[in-house]
Amino acid sequence: DGGITQSPKYLFRKEGQNVTLSCEQNLNHDAMYWYRQDPGQGLRLIYYSQIVNDFQKGDIAEGYSVSREKKESFPLTVTSAQKNPTAFYLCASSMEGTSTDTQYFGPGTRLTVL
Amino acid sequence: GNSVTQMEGPVTLSEEAFLTINCTYTATGYPSLFWYVQYPGEGLQLLLKATKADDKGSNKGFEATYRKETTSFHLEKGSVQVSDSAVYFCALMDSNYQLIWGAGTKLIIKP
């Protein structure tokens, strides 16, 4: 069964702690993405990667970091520098990252900072 | 810069009503256009897409036509069901291959 998995579904963090969100895909897609979704707003791009060992900042990368050591994995770390990290985080992948590509989404992780 | 504007929700309809959710965009060139749907408690799913002017995307009874002259990609369905209740997002793919999203429109269908 091909798809994108994100874990955990819910995550609680104390202020000042770093936390890592997992994203795995078995679709053999080259490109992967992290988005943040806040209530009443569209998705905003945090980071994206079009190939292993390479990634670029999106519109709201400050306070976040990523790695892409394997094609199927693109973990996102929310650092203590992120001022307002409580949000719903969505991971996506696409075959090549081109202009007509469809992005496929995972089920999301809801992060709450206590 | 590139942007997507959707009609504000929530949109509340009775079952079997006709649905239109407006979406207009601002972009350079001719971006690909997408509608995604988010059912309660779930991630996003692609509903339909169109990659060039005058293309019509369709899926599950939903349709949208890429109108270059009005820079629009309105979502329509002839007869909605309770199971269509969800949040609908319009998006465009910019020249850097990044999706630019509208704010989403919540659709509520009453039996």
Radius of gyration (C-alpha) of chain B in whole angstroms? 13
DSSP assignment letter at B67: B
User: Helix (H, G, I), strand (E, B), or coil: what is residue B1?
Assistant: coil
> What band does A2 get if pLDDT is binned at 50, 70 and 90?
low
Query: Does B24 score more than 80 pLDDT?
Result: yes
Mutate to test the interface with B, among A32, A100, A109, A110 (most CBs of B within 10 A): A100
Q: Provide the pLDDT confidence category of residue A44 given band limits of 50, 70 and 90.
A: very high
For residues B78 and A53, give the distance between their C-alpha atoms in angstroms, rounded to a whole number. Answer: 47
Say whether pLDDT at A24 is over 90. Answer: yes
B102 has a chain A CB within 8 A of its CB: yes
CB contact under 8 A, A102 and B99: no
Nearest CA in chain A to B104: A42
CA distance B19 to B12: 10
Q: Quickly state the pLDDT bin for A1 (edges 50, 70, 90).
A: low
Task: Name the minimum distance, in Å, from the CA of B24 to any CA of chain A.
Answer: 14
> What is the SS3 assignment for A88?
strand
| B108–A contact, CB cutoff 8 A | no
Q: Per the CB < 8 Å rule, is B97 touching A44?
A: no
Q: Cβ contacts of residue A58 below 8 Å, gap of 6+?
A: A33, A34, A44, A45, A46, A47, A48, B98
pLDDT single digits (tens) A67-98: 999 999 999 999 988 889 999 999 999 998 77
Q: Under a CB-based contact definition with an 8 Å cutoff, are residues B28 and B92 in contact?
A: no
Check residue A96 and give its pLDDT: 82
B44 closest CB neighbour out of A41, A90, A101: A90
Q: Please tell me which residue of chain B has the smallest CA distance to A46.
A: B98
User: What's the pLDDT tens digit per position in B45-86?
Assistant: 999 999 999 999 999 999 999 999 999 999 999 999 999 999
How much is the average pLDDT of A21-37? 95
Q: Measure the CA angle with vertex A40, ends B97 and A47; round to 5°.
A: 30
Where b means 16+ CB within 10 Å and e means fewer, B19-28 reads bebbbbbebe
Q: What is the mean pLDDT of chain A?
A: 91
* Residue of B44, B49, B103 with shortest CB distance to A40: B103
Contacts 24+ apart (CB under 8 A), B63-67: B64/B23, B64/B33, B64/B35, B66/B33
Partner residue facing B51 (CB), from A40, A97, A100 = A100
Rounded Cα distance, B99 and B93, in Å: 4
